[in-house]
Amino acid sequence: MTLSIRWKVTIGTLLVLACGLLIARTLAIRSLEQQEIVRSGQMLETRTSLVSYGLEPFLTQPGTLASTPQLQTAVQDLSTRALARVTVVAPDGQVLADSAVPERGLAAVENHLARPEILQAVATGRGTDLRTSHTTGERTLYLAVAIRGANQATPAVFLRLGLPMTTFDREVAKLHQNLALAFGIAFLIALALSVGLARSITKPLSDIAIAARQLASGNHDVRIRTGSRDEVGLLADTLNQMTDQLRAKIEELSEDRAQLLAMLTSMVEGVMVLDCRGRVLQINPAMERMFDLTGMEARGRPCSDVFRHPQLDTLVSAVLTKRMNEEEEILLHPSGRCLHIEASVTACDRENEACAVLVFHDITELRRLENIRKDFVANVSHELRTPLTSIKGYIEALLDGAKDDPETSTKFLNIILKQSDRLNLILEDLLQLSRIESGKILFKRELLQIQRVIERTLAMIKPLADKKGHKLISCVADDLPLVLGDEDRLMQVLSNLLDNAVKYTPEKGTITVTARPVSDGAKPAAMATAVELSVTDTGLGIPDQDRPRIFERFYRVDKARSRELGGTGLGLAIVKHIVEGQGGQVWVEANAPTGSRFLVRLPVHQISPPVS
């Protein structure tokens, strides 16, 4: 059991007090007793002389002193006068007379030669002793003297006076009682004082303990108030200072941590921190998204177990063993994502501390764009080379002699003209695309009636459609809201789509143009948020796998066919750029049973009332 400081102080104080009081009492009583013994001894000396004087008539008689009634009476008389027990002991130890024993009992009294005071008197002529008497049962101070007889050579008798200490003992007992009472009172006062004292010491200490506990539980606003200027007050002040410093440090650290966390959380790149044994210490949210896992799942586990990617494992073990920064590009399966990893080592290599930091950049899009760019360059070169080769071939043929034949030369020159037109067309489309992309073409933002755009475009395309015997159907809703856009560009979008529909639909097909208002789920149906245009044909259709790439530059399902039909492979790319440049979307779906449906969604001018 552990005692509190309060009890330790109280019990300690009381123990010290009790010991002090006991020692004081013992010393006081012993000193009193010694004084009493000296005083009684002196008294006995005087009385012994007087009694010896009183017994002189018996001692001066010739012969040995015998136990006689006269002696006994004289002894009793002298005892009464001297207020002491008087005993006359023969040199052989026999008690001749004793004031404490009746005469007839003298014979039964034990031989007194072995009594300490008699033994001393035998040896030195005088002996004292303090003990409880066998005869009277009282504590008695004895003084024995040897009284010389007539011949003076040997002691005639030993005269012994016994002074009972009864009165003194009674007083001492009373003193004991008084002292006990005084000690009791002193003890109670001391108890109250020590409890108060202990409390005054322990209260601030327990206040400090409570405050320290609150501090440990995270309450850093706690202040310790003791009010005292002693060591405890000093301790409290020191603790308060410590708390202030701790709070400032914690705030500083929390701020740093929050900034670091904000940085890590907002980073697009995945970040992973490893310890020296390759175990994951931390991953950021981007990393969780990249690998579709949670920080809880990853933390504390070896990196190789968490990701199970041989390339990544090799990189991690190389970084940790060589302690050198490394870079690597890895491919994720089955997502096909491409990650560029930069691994850097830190200065620390202790267990459970950051040893390597890996930053994962998702370069899938970059690689895709790179591929598109490469494809684009290859495509442009190819697209330009085809008509150029053709032109060059026909010019060479003309120079080789064909120019002399007017019919052939006209035919060849027409082909050259057609190819240069095609070259021109490609270059114009490319220029237009590049101007849209670089923002050089600014789209007008005017309120448009889509119905008008459709009518004008259909009128333009009709001759072409008629040539192939296509049926052109227009189905436009009455309540179309106005859209905000560039009329010429939208006509270009619609004409490109209609041109494709005419081109890629075998003769006598049906081409339908529709327009309807649409609203997103959050708004009531009456509040249209967009106008949806669709161009549907009953032509060849576009295979599923080609549909997502159809809006890329030069992407064609059937290159030869497209070229034959005069396509540049840039029409849909231009459509997509124009539509997106005006805040819209374009996509393609399959049309049942055959053909394709191109859909364009354009945002509505919000404050415009619906056109009836």
Binding site for ligand ADP (CB under 6 A): 500-501, 504, 537, 539-540, 542, 550, 556-558, 562, 567-573, 596
What's the min distance (Å) between Cβ of 275 and ligand ADP? 54
What's the min distance (Å) between Cβ of 420 and ligand ADP? 18
Per-position b or e across 61-70, b if 16+ CB within 10 A of its CB: eeeebebeee
> Which residue number, 401 or 566, has a Cβ lying nearer to ligand ADP?
566
> Which residue number, 194 or 496, has a Cβ lying nearer to ligand ADP?
496
The Cα 498–Cα 597 span in angstroms is 11
The Cα 493–Cα 427 span in angstroms is 18
> Which residue number, 12 or 469, has a Cβ lying nearer to ligand ADP?
469
The Cα 530–Cα 601 span in angstroms is 6
> Which residue number, 485 or 571, has a Cβ lying nearer to ligand ADP?
571
Residue 509 structure tokens: 């097909």
What's the min distance (Å) between Cβ of 542 and ligand ADP? 5
> Which residue number, 270 or 539, has a Cβ lying nearer to ligand ADP?
539
What's the min distance (Å) between Cβ of 422 and ligand ADP? 11
Burial zone of 358 (CB within 10 Å; 0-12 exposed, 13-18 middle, 19+ buried): buried
The secondary structure of 252-269, three-state, reads: HHHHHHHHHHHHHHHCCC
The Cα 509–Cα 468 span in angstroms is 8
What's the min distance (Å) between Cβ of 556 and ligand ADP? 3
What's the min distance (Å) between Cβ of 510 and ligand ADP? 12
What's the min distance (Å) between Cβ of 387 and ligand ADP? 14
Q: Which amino acid is at 494?
A: L
Between the CA of residue 610 and those of 322, 359, 583, what are the distances in Å?
Answer: 70, 53, 20
> Which residue number, 164 or 595, has a Cβ lying nearer to ligand ADP?
595
H or E, element range at 414: helix 406-437
The single residue listed with the structure tokens 């040893």 is 355
250 near 220, Cβ under 8 Å? yes
> Which residue number, 270 or 571, has a Cβ lying nearer to ligand ADP?
571
> Which residue number, 284 or 379, has a Cβ lying nearer to ligand ADP?
379
The secondary structure of 76-126, three-state, reads: HHHHHHHCCEEEEECCCCCEEEECCCCHHHHHHCCCCCCCHHHHHHHHHCE
What's the min distance (Å) between Cβ of 573 and ligand ADP? 6
- Residue facing ligand ADP at closest CB distance: 567
What's the min distance (Å) between Cβ of 405 and ligand ADP? 34
> Which residue number, 97 or 423, has a Cβ lying nearer to ligand ADP?
423
CA-closest candidate to residue 468, choices 539, 414, 533: 539
> Which residue number, 186 or 464, has a Cβ lying nearer to ligand ADP?
464
What's the min distance (Å) between Cβ of 551 and ligand ADP? 7
What's the min distance (Å) between Cβ of 293 and ligand ADP? 40
H or E, element range at 166: helix 166-216
The Cα 1–Cα 539 span in angstroms is 97
> Which residue number, 179 or 472, has a Cβ lying nearer to ligand ADP?
472
> Which residue number, 99 or 596, has a Cβ lying nearer to ligand ADP?
596
130 near 120, Cβ under 8 Å? no
Three-class SS of residue 596?
strand
State phi, psi for 526 to the nearest 5 degrees. Answer: -65, -25
What's the min distance (Å) between Cβ of 549 and ligand ADP? 9
The Cα 611–Cα 146 span in angstroms is 157
162 near 135, Cβ under 8 Å? no
